[in-house]
Each structure stands twice: as structure tokens, then as C-alpha cells.
Amino acid sequence: MEEYVKILRKNGIKVTPQRLEILRFLDTHHTHPTADDIYNELKKKNPALSKTTVYNTIQSLKEHGLLISLAFSAHESRFDSVINNHHHLLCSECGNVIDIDIECPFTKRKAMGGHRIDEVHGYFRGVCKDCLGGK
């Protein structure tokens, strides 16, 4: 049985072709795509795909902890299927989001100052190595 079918079953998510394709895309493209990126890419193979389905599936995967959403800007969300903790850099030159693997002392904390901590997101803004080098 395909790997992604197992993942969905294990999480009690009904298996559909749309969900499999979205999960596969997120798992094989760690480019931090927007919902629109996912929609446009998968529409090539399945022209009947609805944007609502993309949003519904993202919501479902998020609720089961299979993806996280990155909220760098106020007018679009980006998504990442990875669950291992890493931080993100938004390059102000090229607009790409780059993974930053650092040892953050807070990612494993479950409480802080009396508050319960469920998620830790580290966002950096700056200029990525490639854009710096090109100057």
C-alpha cells in the first residue's frame, strides 16, 4: 500500500485522490508553497480540482499535525509538511523561504511563564546567501 495512504489511514482521514496528491506534493516539495501554488501545480494533472478542496485538505492535515502553516505576511499563508523543528528565513530580495536549522532552546519547551506552549515558530527576515553573493 502506498505510503501516503498509510499516513492518512493512521490519522483517521478518509483517503481520496485529492488528499493523496496534496499530501504527496507537500512531502516531495519543501518549497513552502502557498495554497495557490499547490492548487496551480496539481490542477495540471487534475483540471477539475477545486481550490476549496485544497483549503479543506490543508485544514484537515493541519488539524492532524501533518503540516504547519507559516504566517510571514498578512496576505498569504505558506505551508510545510515537515514536523521536525526548524526555523525559517524570508529573503527580502528573492522572496523565497529558506529553512534554518539551528539548535533553538525553546522548541521542546511545553510551558513558559505559566503559559502552555503548543507550537514554536522562529521567523527571520533578511537576505539569503544566494542573494548576498550575487551582489
Partner DNA sequence: CCACCAATTTGTAATCAGTACAATTTGGGA
Partner DNA sequence: TCCCAAATTGTACTGATTACAAATTGGTGG
- The count of residues interacting with a copy of itself (CB under 8 A) is 37
Give residues 75-134 in contact with a copy of itself (rule: CB under 8 A): 75-77, 89, 91-92, 98, 100-102, 104-106, 112-129, 132
Residue pair 42/22 in contact (Cβ under 8 Å)? The answer is: yes
- Closer residue to DNA, CB minimum distance, 53 or 81: 53
Of positions 2, 11, 73, 94, contacts a copy of itself by CB under 8 A: 73
- Closer residue to DNA, CB minimum distance, 59 or 96: 59
CB neighbour class for 20 (10 Å; exposed up to 12, middle 13-18, buried from 19): middle
Query: What's the rounded Cα separation, in Å, for the pair 74 and 77?
Result: 8
Residue 75 cell numbers, joined = 496576505
Query: Could you say which of DNA, a copy of itself, none residue 51 binds, taking C-beta under 5 to 8 angstroms by partner kind?
Result: DNA
Q: Least distance from C-beta 108 to a copy of itself, angstroms?
A: 13
Instruction: Check the CA dihedral 7-11-17-21 and report its sign.
Output: negative
